[in-house]
């Protein structure tokens, strides 16, 4: 099988390429040029591109660079800035997966005669034969639950999974590093990047300020009383506790962000609790919406603990009140370890700030 491996310069994609090669596939590595601005982390830095190229050379496989910078700016960076301007909390890695890694890259792979695309994501593609004889593809959590990345792949459909290989999904991170070390790969001990790839470390506020979306305003409590001032609403996200700059006898959390006025509402933990979250842009891996009566597991953070809920129309109703989900964040739905689908948390009505 001809396989195009997306090599980010990290240890996971390095081992993914090595495993596919060892399995007898015809492997080609590709690194995506996505960002032309300053970057010192993630898959957009010069160092990471060089690491990918040198690992490919170690493995003896061809390596190319695809320039998707214009697509990335339009589909990821622009919406990221716009979302902050609207008071949302975007996840740019999700949009990159949707539009670039499993959009443009899949298109390019098909156009150039590759049978499949592979990545180093910690998740598993599970294929089976249905009762009617049809081959089915599902996306399941990676074996290493602490590193599972199925959450950020919620938008994939069966047609995508049929052309996708995830060689490290059955491995723990420790096993990935051990295999890389045994192969002598230069990325074996490389630290993981936890930053947004197109923003320099610690430079998020400057990045947004340069694009005019750091609107100053008042910090208010749930009764509307001004309790402080801030220099940029885009610094805050729903549920945030640290860095509020408000002294109080009890812990306060960000309850709401009003991008139009710059007002940031803070309150005690109870004021965060909600019985549900509206969800926009729902998609389902198998193209089938689960019944409103079906109990599901709901995950609202990349490595958050799932909790019980049900999908009723375009609203996910929780089995018990949970902290409000920041608008713009992914709401992923699971049956056990199998991903059903998901969407993005939409703004709810901010009027009920009492927690009732």
Q: Are residue 171 and residue 254 in the same domain, yes or no? A: no
According to DSSP, the residues that pair with 256 across neighbouring strands are 265
| Backbone φ and ψ of 202, nearest 5° | 75, 5
CB-count burial class (<10 Å; 0-12, 13-18, 19+) for 334: buried
**pLDDT tops 60 at residue 356:** no
Q: Which string of DSSP letters, residue by residue, matches 54-107?
A: HHHHHHT--EEEEE-HHHHIIIIIHHHHHHHHTT----HHHHHIIIIIIIIHHH
Question: What does the pLDDT average to over 25-36?
Answer: 92
What CATH number is attached to the domain comprising 22? 3.40.50.620
Output the pLDDT for position 41: 55
Cα–Cα distance for residue pair 59/55, rounded to 1 Å: 6
What residue has token string 């996840």?
A: 91
Work out the percent of the chain whose per-residue pLDDT is above 90: 78
Q: Are residue 173 and residue 41 in the same domain, yes or no? A: yes
What residue has token string 């004889």?
A: 133
**pLDDT tops 70 at residue 43:** no
Output the pLDDT for position 351: 43
Name the packing angle between helices 46-59 and 11-22 (round to 10°).
20
What CATH number is attached to the domain comprising 262? 2.30.30.280
| Domain hosting residue 253, numbered range | 215-267
Instruction: Read off the pLDDT of residues 329-351 as tens digits, 9 standing for 90 and up.
Output: 999 999 999 999 999 999 875 44
Output the pLDDT for position 37: 64
* Residue 45, CA distances (Å) to 41, 64, 80, 155, 169 in order: 6, 16, 19, 26, 25
Question: What does the pLDDT average to over 110-126?
Answer: 97
**pLDDT tops 90 at residue 91:** yes
How many structural domains is the chain composed of?
2
Which of 39-53, 141-155, 283-297, 303-317 shows the lowest mean pLDDT across its residues? 39-53
The answer to whether position 7 is within a domain reads yes
The answer to whether position 37 is within a domain reads yes
pLDDT tier at 197 (50, 70, 90 boundaries)? Answer: confident
Output the pLDDT for position 257: 93
**What is the pLDDT of the chain when averaged over all its residues?**
91
Cα–Cα distance for residue pair 51/29, rounded to 1 Å: 12
Q: pTM for the complete prediction?
A: 0.91
Cα–Cα distance for residue pair 148/86, rounded to 1 Å: 30
Q: Are residue 87 and residue 233 in the same domain, yes or no? A: no
Which of 34-38, 66-70, 99-103 shows the lowest mean pLDDT across its residues? 34-38
Q: Are residue 225 and residue 173 in the same domain, yes or no? A: no
Q: Are residue 113 and residue 28 in the same domain, yes or no? A: yes
Question: What does the pLDDT average to over 245-259?
Answer: 85
According to DSSP, the residues that pair with 123 across neighbouring strands are 141
| Backbone φ and ψ of 321, nearest 5° | -55, 140
CA atoms within 13 A on the CB side of 319: 11
197 noted as active-site residue: yes
- Among 43, 44, 93, 197, which one carries the catalytic annotation? 197
- Among 43, 44, 93, 96, which one carries the catalytic annotation? 96
CB-count burial class (<10 Å; 0-12, 13-18, 19+) for 223: exposed
The answer to whether position 249 is within a domain reads yes
């Amino acid at each position: 099988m001809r396989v195009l491996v997306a090599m980010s310069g990290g240890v996971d994609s390095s081992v993914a390429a090595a495993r596919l090669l060892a399995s007898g596939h015809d492997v080609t590595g590709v690194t995506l040029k996505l960002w032309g601005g300053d970057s010192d982390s993630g898959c957009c830095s010069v160092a990471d591109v060089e690491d990918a190229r040198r690992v490919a050379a170690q493995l003896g496989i061809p390596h190319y660079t695809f320039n998707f910078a214009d697509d990335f700016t339009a589909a990821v960076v622009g919406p990221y800035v716009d979302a902050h301007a609207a008071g949302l909390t975007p996840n740019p890695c999700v949009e990159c997966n949707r539009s670039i890694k499993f959009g443009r890259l899949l298109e390019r792979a098909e156009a150039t005669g590759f049978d499949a695309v592979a990545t180093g994501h910690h998740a598993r593609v599970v294929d089976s034969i249905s009762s009617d004889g049809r081959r089915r593809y599902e996306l399941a959590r990676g074996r290493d639950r602490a590193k599972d990345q199925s959450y950020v792949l919620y938008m994939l459909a069966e047609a995508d999974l049929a052309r996708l290989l995830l060689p490290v999904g059955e491995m723990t991170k420790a096993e990935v590093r051990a295999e890389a070390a045994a192969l002598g790969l230069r990325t074996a001990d490389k630290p993981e990047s936890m930053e947004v790839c197109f923003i320099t470390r610690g430079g998020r506020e400057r990045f947004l300020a340069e694009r005019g979306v750091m609107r100053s305003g008042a910090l208010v409590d749930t009764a509307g009383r001004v309790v402080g001032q801030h220099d940029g609403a885009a610094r805050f996200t729903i549920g945030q506790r640290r860095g509020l700059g408000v002294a109080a006898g009890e812990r306060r959390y960000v309850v709401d962000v009003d991008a139009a006025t710059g007002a940031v509402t803070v309150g005690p933990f109870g004021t965060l609790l909600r019985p549900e979250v509206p969800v926009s842009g729902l998609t389902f891996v198998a193209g089938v919406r689960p019944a409103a009566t079906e109990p599901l597991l709901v995950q609202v953070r990349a490595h958050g603990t799932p909790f019980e809920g049900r999908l009723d129309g375009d609203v996910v109703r929780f089995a018990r009140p949970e902290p409000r989900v920041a608008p713009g964040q992914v709401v992923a739905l699971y049956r056990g370890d199998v991903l059903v689908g998901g969407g993005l948390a939409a703004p709810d009505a901010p009027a009920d700030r009492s927690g009732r």
